Structure formats: structure tokens, C-alpha cells
Amino acid sequence: MTRFALRVEFDGRPFMGWQRQSHGPSVQQALEDAIHAITGERTAVHAAGRTDAGVHGLAMRAHVDIARPIAPFRLMEAINARARPAPVAVLDCVEVADDWHARFSCIRRSYEYRIVNRRAPLTFEAGLAWQVPQPLDERAMAEAARHLVGRHDFTTFRSVHCQADSPVRTLDLLIVERDGARLYVRAAARSFLHHQVRSMVGCLAFVGMGRWSPDDVAAALAARDRARLGLNAPPDGLFFVAADYPDEA
């Protein structure tokens, strides 16, 4: 039995999320079905994190155990051929130790949220960014973001369906940057709660619109009450961008 680590890119629009679902297609299902077609084995593909319906991946890390002898490059090429036409691609495939785990070995996960701040409708980026037509003050958003960095109880920014044992998380990074009409909100932490990034982005957008002040974000955090959430941003603009491991630079 060989354990392979994968780096996976996917367009989340046609999927119900990463995890296999009974009511629709998933990224996990697309990969597992491709591997079954190649090897004849039914095996689980474990990921560094779960994503919601419509959320995208630029470099999701995952692993799979395969009994049949196969070279990593050949496995990668075969998965990419078999997964078509699903918008999923394996960018990298390597053999790893049996105790390497995509989820439990991960020490940091990073997300990027993309906002297009213009009145004209999206064409090429429809479904790949959140269009906000009213002007956004990125400096006020960045100031508000600083209130969320650190170790906090993120109950306000947690989905009511979140299954995590604790709402306490340590947010290592939350920054807001503008490039023309595009805003990027980048977040990093060891782990995130269900909907945490989208909820934080929604509240930062409220600040950018002038509907909230940066202090209102701090107050919402301190309330530890989901009812105090300003806005949950749509999944369109959210990308899983990186997973870091202690044995990698």
C-alpha cells in the first residue's frame, strides 16, 4: 500500500463542495471515481479541509492510499484524464510516509477571497468573484480586519451547522488589499470554522460600504452571537489557496 499526496485545483461551481454528498456531485467523488477507474480500488481521498458548494481550490492538498503499484506521475496523468470533463486537476503527486495525513498533519491553511468592486456585471469572472457595485473603503476594511486577528471565540462568525467542538480559533492573518477594481481578502490559520472566512468577509464589506465602523466588527466578535453577524459573503469569491506542513518549506 502506497500513500500519495496530491495537490488539487478545482472550479467549485458545479460541485456541492469537497466532501462526497448524496444529493449532488463533489470534488472528492470526482477524484475517487477516477482512481477507481484506474486501479479498480475503492479508496477514500482525504483533504486538508472541506469546502462549501461553490468554493474553489487553487492548491488543495489531499492524500490517497493505493495498493496497486503505480508511479506518481502516471497516477497524476491518469486521474486528470479520467476526471474529465469535471473541472478538477491534479497539479502534483508524490509518495509520502504512511503517517502523513492531508488533514491532521496540516499546520496552516490559507484562503483568498476575491471581490470585484464595480457596477458593470461580471463576464469572465462570474461565479469566481463577488461583485459589489457600491464603492468600498479598503482602508477601513483593513482596520476592521485587525480586530479579528489573534485568538478569539468566533461564535459570531460560525455557521449554526458548524460541527467543531470549540468556536475558539487563532487567526494568524487577515489582510485586505486593492488592485484597481479588485479587492483581495487573505486569511490564514491552523484551522477555520464552518463559514468563518465568508462571515468575516461579509462584515468587512459592511465596513467598506460605510454601514458598519471597524469598531462594530470588534463588537460583533465580542458578542459571541451569530445573530450579530452583519453579512455572510457568497461562496463565489472564496478560494482555498494553500496548506502548509512541517516537513515542507
List the catalytic residues: 52
Burial grade of 103 (CB within 10 A; 0-12, 13-18, 19 or more): middle
Phi, psi for 141 (deg, rounded to 5): -65, -40
Task: Select from 102, 84, 142, 127 the least CA-distant residue to 6.
Answer: 102
- Cα 19 from Cα 15, distance rounded (Å): 9
End-to-end CA distance of the chain: 27
Range list of H helices, the chain: 27-39, 72-83, 138-146, 196-209, 214-223
Bridge partners of 182?
116, 179
**Do β-strands 182-189 and 108-116 pair in parallel, antiparallel, or remain unpaired?**
antiparallel
Q: Give all strands (DSSP E) within 67-138, no chain letters.
A: 88-96, 108-116, 130-131
